[in-house]
Amino acid sequence: LIVEIINTGSELLNGRRLNLHQQWLCQRLARLGYAVNRQTSVADTGPAIETSVREALGRADLVITTGGLGPTADDLTRERIAGLVGRSLSEDALALENIRRFFQSRQRPMPERTRVQALVPEGALVLPNAHGTAPGLALHVLPNAFRADARPSWLIMLPGPPRELHPMFDAQVAPLLAEKLAPSGPVATHTLRTTGIGESLVEEKISGPLRHLLTAGLDLGLCGHPGEVEIHFTARGRTAPRVVAEAVEISRAELGKAVFADGEESLESVIVRQLAERKLTLALAESCTGGHLANRLTDVPGASAVLLAGLVTYSNAAKQEFLGVQSATLAQHGAVSEPVAREMAEGARAHTGADFALSVTGIAGPGGGTREKPVGTVYLGLATPQGTLVLKQLNPYDRETFKRVTSQQALDLLRRKLLGD
């Protein structure tokens, strides 16, 4: 099967926006067993869209476009593609009703312009949009005048905003592809997620023990993020499930507690789930991560059952006022120190009555470093019913990566505690 992706949007060609759709769609399609042959970005002008879609229809069994389904004058995908494949557009009652409901639920009037998003090319399947107004559209191009062999193509148009595209792909495009355009032969995949260990070391640990499976066709993909490595296993053919299962088992044995989740589950989600299952509660005391840790945990639905409070105590006065850190400790050791991390965690636990409290104090940079405590120095505290531990780390990265890596280390400290380390 030949698969192509077309990302429309001038913001992708003038450098204003990073193309995140390419990687996201390629990852999702790979997991479903499809290999993408080509990805193209074109401006959101009529001729550019028409030319690129015509060419792709001439080559591919599946063409996925992103963007250009909105209500404004530069949203041309729907109209130009309908014209290209010779289908008339007409208003779809259900699509219109969805748009009406979207505005009603927000108690806002429906701008007349948005009505254009209910236009659907003749014969297209409408993919309702649970998080916006523009539905996705799926067209079976048959007969396909664009291909020399006249073989049909599927053409799927998805909206540009990620929060609309992602759930639409998972809930509607994936099942549609499974039904209409199944990949050739069975595919088995699995993902393990690790933390506290670098990409090269992960590879070093598992590539030897997996050699016989790699020779037999196992595809191993490592993907490093700040503070985290994803390991993707893919195999094809009759023995695929067995090959992947064996690879996962071997990797788990080699990597041990570094593996924190299977599939898509995030570290913060693992923490919230494990605490909720045991009816345990958590408080946070953050300095240099500035609320990043609280924000990550509260991204998890149900976090309110677990997280009692998060104190972002940037100033020394706030550390004293809200956490009871002693002024003598601050004066003697400085805010970035083992004793202050300890008092912050213990203060947060005592003031909230939580079972556990995590604290973070460090130097995020770019300024504030010294010879003894360079930028990136950080102390992580964990107060528990059995006592308090403090870990020192050095994370000399840019500000956002620092926050991400540091919060990952803090969450992992709690995860390993819950594992009984």
Residues 293-352 binding a second copy (CB under 8 A) are 293-295, 297-299, 301-304, 307-315, 317-318, 321-322, 351-352
Binding status of residue 86 toward a second copy by CB under 8 A: no
Q: Closest Cα to residue 341, out of 354, 328, 323? A: 323
Which H helix or E strand runs over 399?
A: helix 399-418
What spatial distance separates the first Cα and last Cα of the chain, rounded to whole Å? 48
Q: At closest approach, how far in Å is the CB of 203 from a second copy?
A: 5
Of the listed pieces 139-147, 169-177, 291-299, 336-344, which binds a second copy according to CB under 8 A?
A: 291-299
CB within 8 Å of 245: residues ≥ 6 apart: 188, 190
Count other Cβ atoms within 10 Å, centred on residue 133.
24
Residues from 367 through 386 that contact a second copy (CB under 8 A): 367, 376
Query: How do beta strands 119-121 and 89-91 pair?
Result: antiparallel
Rounded to the nearest 10 degrees, what angle do helices 199-207 and 240-255 cross at? 120
Taking CB under 8 A as the criterion, the residue among 201, 250, 276, 418 binding a second copy is 201
Residue 17 makes contact with a second copy by CB under 8 A: yes
Residues 173-192 that bind a second copy (CB under 8 A): 191
Residue 79 in contact with a second copy, rule: CB under 8 A:
no
> What are the tokens at 126?
């409408």
Q: Which is nearer to a second copy, 42 or 124 (CB)?
A: 42
By CB under 8 A, the count of residues binding a second copy is: 107
Smallest separation (angstroms) from a second copy to the CB of 32: 11
- Which are the contacts of 252, defined by CB distance < 8 A and separation ≥ 6? 192, 259
By CB under 8 A, is residue 35 in contact with a second copy? yes
Q: How far is the CB of 231 from a second copy (least distance, A)?
A: 11
In angstroms, the CA 5 to CA 154 distance is: 12
- Cβ distance to a second copy smaller for residue 124 or 146: 146
How far is 39 from 112, CA to CA, in rounded Å? 34
Residue 381 bridge partners (DSSP): 359, 390
CB of 142 to a second copy, least distance (A): 25
**151 is a site residue for a second copy (CB under 8 A):** no
Near a second copy by CB under 8 A, which window of 40-48, 77-85, 173-181, 252-260?
40-48
Q: How far is the CB of 87 from a second copy (least distance, A)?
A: 25
Q: Which stretch binds a second copy (CB under 8 A): 34-42, 86-94, 272-280, 378-386?
A: 34-42
Of residues 213-242, those binding a second copy (CB under 8 A):
219, 221-224, 226, 230, 232, 234
Contact flag: residue 161 with a second copy (CB under 8 A) = yes
**121 contacts 139 by C-beta, under 8 angstroms:** yes
Give the DSSP per-residue string, 36-105.
EEEEEEE-SSHHHHHHHHHHHHTT-SEEEEES--SSSTT--HHHHHHHHTT--EEE-HHHHHHHHHHHHH
- For residues 240-269, which are near a second copy according to CB under 8 A? none
Residue number with CB closer to a second copy (21 or 124) = 21
When the beta carbons of 140 and 291 are compared against a second copy, the nearer one is 291
Q: Which of 60, 244, 284, 344 binds a second copy (CB under 8 A)?
A: 284
Considering only the stretches 104-112, 248-256, 336-344, 410-418, report the one whose residues sit in contact with a second copy under the rule CB under 8 A. Answer: 104-112
Two tokens at 270? Answer: 């693992």
> Beta-carbon neighbour count of residue 232 at 10 Å?
16
